[in-house]
Amino acid sequence: MVGVEFLAQEFGPDRDQAMAGPLGLFITLLLVVVTIMLVRGMNKHVRRLNRRLDREAALNADAEPAEGPSEGGPGPDRA
């Protein structure tokens, strides 16, 4: 059990570089802020993409009857 005691002595508040607490907190907060910013940016992008796709679908729906077959269901290229 001497090896376990030796390893236990290397950790704890008595070490010279006991900055894991404040440094870990800073890194965690930084990651949280960056994640929130990425989620907000992606939400804006998806909203704009949905609006654009809705506009294109409306334009295609208006233009489709003139291009599609007049009777008989789907054309030969549609299954």
**pTM more than 0.85:** no
For the chain, what percentages of helix, strand and coil (3-state, to nearest 5) are there? 70, 0, 30
Question: What pLDDT shows up at residue 24?
Answer: 85
Tens-digit pLDDT profile for residues 25-61:
899 999 999 999 999 999 999 999 999 999 998 888 8
Question: What pLDDT shows up at residue 49?
Answer: 93
